[in-house]
């Protein structure tokens, strides 16, 4: 999870929502990424999606059986769907996402018995550290917007 947090810190520094992900197979990181939706102007450029693509490229297969995804924030429905489709064995995440989480908060897509693949879940790992990073990012964003308003500039 520490490697995922390092990726999240890269996202923070780039002005992205600080989510980081790493995929591990046989004790080796085979994919890593951080959110890049703003940078790439791509709504699918979530850390998990990019890490899954990198891991599939590393293995030369879309099937990531036996792999574990470590991610700082509970995956959304899009990312949870990609986890199921890629056959990732286990997801370990830090903080729950009460607004978009699809691994226990709003729904639990990765363990839905109606799907052909179910994922082992571990949650709350380094939750306090991940939550502090998220809170700092959004506080910083609010501060920047407030400063722009006070200076008479437009919000972006």
Catalytic (active-site) positions: 48
Dihedral of CA atoms 120, 126, 128, 134 in degrees, nearest 10, equals: -80
The whole-angstrom separation of Cα 55 and Cα 121 is 19
The whole-angstrom separation of Cα 133 and Cα 121 is 22
CA atoms within 13 A on the CB side of 70: 22
> Tokens for 88?
């990732």
Burial class (CB in 10 A: 0-12, 13-18, 19+), 111: middle
Residue 67's alpha-carbon distances to 22, 89, 98, in angstroms, are 10, 6, 26
> Tokens for 67?
């792999």
> Tokens for 137?
């990012």
């Amino acid at each position: 999870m520490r490697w995922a947090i390092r990726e999240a810190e890269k996202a923070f520094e780039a002005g992205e929502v600080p989510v980081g992900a790493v995929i591990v197979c046989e004790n080796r990181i085979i994919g890593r990424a951080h959110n890049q939706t703003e940078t790439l102007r791509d709504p699918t450029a979530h850390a998990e999606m990019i890490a899954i693509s990198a891991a599939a490229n590393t293995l030369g297969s879309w099937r990531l059986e036996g792999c574990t995804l470590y991610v700082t924030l509970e995956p959304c429905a899009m990312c949870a769907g990609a986890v199921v489709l890629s056959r990732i064995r286990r997801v370990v995440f830090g903080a729950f996402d009460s607004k978009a989480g699809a691994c226990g908060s709003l729904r639990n897509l990765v363990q839905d018995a109606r799907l052909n693949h179910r994922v082992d879940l571990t949650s709350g790992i380094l939750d306090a550290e991940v939550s502090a990073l998220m809170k700092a990012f959004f506080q910083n964003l609010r501060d920047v917007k407030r400063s722009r308003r006070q200076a008479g500039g437009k919000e972006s």
